[in-house]
């Protein structure tokens, strides 16, 4: 996770944060074990593998897919992936005609319970400012060229609804079971900045 | 507030860097994230107030970086709440551990935090009053300029859209941030055509959908 190399002297920010944490621990405002616990949850337990399970289930189980459309929070709850920043979920299905992409222009709202913590680019000023106005140009920077005849829908997470994009199932995956399918699903495909390649090497769009 | 945080449609921030894909760049960023969540109610804040505190930072501090911004909020809150005094603040700035700190709080235990992380805190609420709009209605996002917290971005104000979903009532961020008053309001997903938001050169079939509270909306003029 961290790029910090231990032979480097600590940066000024590292020293400040260490000083702040020491103060807050001494004061009883935070328990250092609680800090470790919250990091453990979001670095080792909750992550895009959760969302990938939801997507793979939706691809393989039409009744689940229907429940995901009707009440995504309840459907995702069946798999046990509810939690902070996932209290009110909506699933957005990509189709031949519609491509969905998610942003939070006002801060960094992101569906933690199914995707974990957002990648740095999702929180970047460039992504937040541009994807609502020129989504196709931004998606091209991700290597994704959405055909003109496909409608692009950008979802700006301005309240507490959290969005999970359900990418299209790649061609050539009919023989795969749910677990193998989940392994194909990437984080970016569930934010909408990628589509999944067909297993024979084409693209899923 | 019409602050630096309201970035939708702004120019000048450069290209997106898809390769910048990890949540954290350095270990101190991890600690700032963890400290903020672990401090919990000791920050005397709420979800909306926390966002408002970030928005109220000077633009220079806001733009310094994502976790730099979270750090600045922690310092500001600690000073306001009295657990960081002037001497401690100066020591932290120098990267030195403050001395002679009294233990006068009781921290949230790790198990409680794990529990909250895995259960969440829903913000849906029941209200008596009926929703003013239904799916399919054309609505106009109000042209209003509150100087306090709001979740109505500037780029849709005064623009017409279509209600595509109704989500019942949720805690209203504008009053929750300012007065710790949940004041639940009906919440809708509203779809705006890209051409309405950005002009005739935008792709005809594209759209942007926002989740907007009833007080942000009115019947079109």
What is the pLDDT at residue B102? 86
**What's the pLDDT band for B80 if we cut at 50, 70, 90?**
very high
Contact between B95 and A34 using a beta-carbon 8 Å cutoff:
no
Contact between A160 and B31 using a beta-carbon 8 Å cutoff:
no
What is the pLDDT at residue A4? 54
User: Which residues lie closer than 8 Å to B63 by C-beta, 6 or more apart?
Assistant: A125, B4
Counting residues of chain B whose pLDDT is more than 90, the rounded percentage is 91
Which one of A104, A113, A157, A189 is the catalytic residue?
A104
Contact between B203 and A118 using a beta-carbon 8 Å cutoff:
no
CATH number of this structure's domain B124-218:
2.30.30.50
The least confident of A126-130, A199-203, B53-57 is A199-203
Mutation for A interface: B35, B55, B119, most A CBs within 10 A:
B35
**What's the pLDDT band for B1 if we cut at 50, 70, 90?**
very high
Alpha helices in A28-103 (DSSP H): 32-40, 48-60, 62-70, 72-78
> How remote is the C-alpha of A53 from its chain's centroid?
13
Contact between A106 and B7 using a beta-carbon 8 Å cutoff:
yes
What is the pLDDT at residue B83? 87
Q: Which of A153, A68, A167 is nearest to B189 (CA)?
A: A153
Mean pLDDT of B92-114: 91
Nearest to A21 among B35, B91, B202 (CB): B35
Give the Cα-Cα-Cα angle B114, B78, B100 (nearest 5 degrees): 100
Give the Cα-Cα-Cα angle B76, A103, B40 (nearest 5 degrees): 35
pLDDT at B59 exceeding the cut of 60: yes
Residue A80 CB-density burial (10 A; 0-12 exposed, 13-18 middle, 19+ buried): exposed
3-state secondary structure of A152: strand
Contact between B27 and A108 using a beta-carbon 8 Å cutoff:
no
Question: β-pairing, A151-156 with A98-103?
Answer: parallel
pLDDT digits (tens, 9 = 90+) for A17-44: 999 999 999 999 999 999 999 999 999 9
What is the pLDDT at residue A202? 46
**What's the pLDDT band for B72 if we cut at 50, 70, 90?**
very high
Minimal CA separation from A167 to chain B, in Å: 18
Give the Cα-Cα-Cα angle B66, A53, A172 (nearest 5 degrees): 110
Q: What are the residue ranges spanned by the domains of chain B?
A: 27-119, 124-218
3-state secondary structure of B213: strand
Question: Mean pLDDT of all residues in chain A?
Answer: 94
Which one of A2, A11, A109, A124 is the catalytic residue?
A109
Q: Which of A73, A71, A51, A135 is nearest to A98 (CA)?
A: A135
Counting residues of chain A whose pLDDT is more than 70, the rounded percentage is 94
What is the pLDDT at residue B44? 83
**Residue A82: what are its φ and ψ, rounded to 5°?**
-90, 170
Chain A environment of B205 (Cβ under 8 Å) = 151-152
Mutation for A interface: B13, B23, B78, most A CBs within 10 A:
B23
| Residue A186 at interface with chain B, using a CB cutoff of 8 Å | no
CATH architecture of the domain formed by A45-191: Alpha-Beta Complex (3.90)
pLDDT digits (tens, 9 = 90+) for A45-87: 999 999 999 999 999 999 999 999 999 999 999 999 999 999 9
| Residue B146 at interface with chain A, using a CB cutoff of 8 Å | no
**What's the pLDDT band for A5 if we cut at 50, 70, 90?**
low
CATH number of this structure's domain B27-119:
1.10.472
Q: Can you tell me the distance from the alpha carbon of B178 to that of A109, in angstroms, rounded to the nearest whole number? A: 20
Minimal CA separation from B221 to chain A, in Å: 24
pLDDT at A205 exceeding the cut of 80: no
pLDDT digits (tens, 9 = 90+) for B118-157: 999 999 999 999 999 999 999 999 999 999 999 999 999 9
Nearest to B31 among A35, A108, A131 (CB): A35
Contact between A20 and B92 using a beta-carbon 8 Å cutoff:
yes
Angle between helices A12-27 and B86-94 (to 10 degrees): 140
What is the pLDDT at residue B68? 97
DSSP label at A41? Answer: I
pLDDT at A151 exceeding the cut of 90: yes
| Residue B42 at interface with chain A, using a CB cutoff of 8 Å | yes
* Distance in Å from the first CA to the final CA of chain A: 32
What is the pLDDT at residue A16? 97
Q: Can you tell me the distance from the alpha carbon of A30 to that of B206, in angstroms, rounded to the nearest whole number? A: 46
Burial track B120-139 (b if 16+ CB lie within 10 A, e otherwise): beebeeeeeeebebeeebeb
What is the pLDDT at residue B98? 85
Active site residue A104: yes
Q: Can you tell me the distance from the alpha carbon of B178 to that of B22, in angstroms, rounded to the nearest whole number? A: 33
**Whether B142 contacts B220, CB under 8 Å:** no
Active site residue A113: no
Counting residues of chain A whose pLDDT is more than 90, the rounded percentage is 92
| Residue A27 at interface with chain B, using a CB cutoff of 8 Å | yes
Q: How many CB atoms lie within 10 A of CB A183?
A: 12
Q: Can you tell me the distance from the alpha carbon of B71 to that of B69, in angstroms, rounded to the nearest whole number? A: 5
What is the pLDDT at residue A2? 47
């Amino acid at each position: 996770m961290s790029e910090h190399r231990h032979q480097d002297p600590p940066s000024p920010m590292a020293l400040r944060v260490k000083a702040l944490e020491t103060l807050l621990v001494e004061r009883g405002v935070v328990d250092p074990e609680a800090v470790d616990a919250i990091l453990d949850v979001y670095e080792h337990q909750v992550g895009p593998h959760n969302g990938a399970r939801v997507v793979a289930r939706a691809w393989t189980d039409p009744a689940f897919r229907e429940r995901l459309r009707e009440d995504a929070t309840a459907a995702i709850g069946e798999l046990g992936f509810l939690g902070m920043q996932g209290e009110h979920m909506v699933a957005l299905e990509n189709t031949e005609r519609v491509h969905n992409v998610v942003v939070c222009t006002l801060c960094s709202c992101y569906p933690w319970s199914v995707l974990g913590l957002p990648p740095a680019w999702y929180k970047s000023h460039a992504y937040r400012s541009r994807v609502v106005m020129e989504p196709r140009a931004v998606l091209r920077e991700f290597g994704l060229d959405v055909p003109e005849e496909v409608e692009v829908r950008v979802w700006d997470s301005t309240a507490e609804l959290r969005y999970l994009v359900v990418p299209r199932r790649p061609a050539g995956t009919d023989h795969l079971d749910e677990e193998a399918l989940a392994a194909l699903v990437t984080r970016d495909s569930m934010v909408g900045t990628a589509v999944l390649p067909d297993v024979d090497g084409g693209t899923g769009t | 507030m019409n602050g630096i945080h309201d970035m939708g449609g702004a120019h000048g921030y450069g290209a997106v860097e898809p390769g910048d894909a990890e949540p954290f760049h350095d270990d101190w960023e991890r600690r700032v994230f963890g400290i903020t969540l672990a401090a919990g109610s000791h920050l005397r804040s709420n979800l909306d107030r926390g966002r408002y505190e970030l928005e109220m930072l000077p633009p220079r501090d806001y733009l310094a970086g994502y976790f730099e911004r979270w750090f600045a909020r922690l310092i500001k809150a600690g000073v306001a709440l009295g657990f960081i005094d002037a001497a401690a603040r100066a020591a932290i700035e120098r990267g030195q551990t403050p001395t002679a700190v009294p233990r006068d709080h009781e921290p949230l235990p790790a198990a409680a935090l794990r529990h909250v992380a895995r259960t969440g805190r829903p913000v849906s609420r029941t209200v008596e009053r009926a929703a003013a709009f239904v799916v399919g209605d054309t609505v106009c996002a109000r042209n209003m300029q509150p100087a306090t917290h709001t979740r109505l971005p500037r780029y849709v104000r005064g623009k017409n859209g279509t209600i595509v979903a109704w989500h019942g009532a949720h805690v209203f961020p504008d009053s929750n941030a300012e007065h710790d008053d949940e004041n639940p309001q009906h919440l809708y997903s509203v779809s705006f055509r890209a051409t309405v938001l950005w002009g005739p050169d935008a792709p005809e079939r594209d759209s942007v959908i926002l989740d907007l509270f009833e007080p942000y909306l009115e019947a079109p003029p």
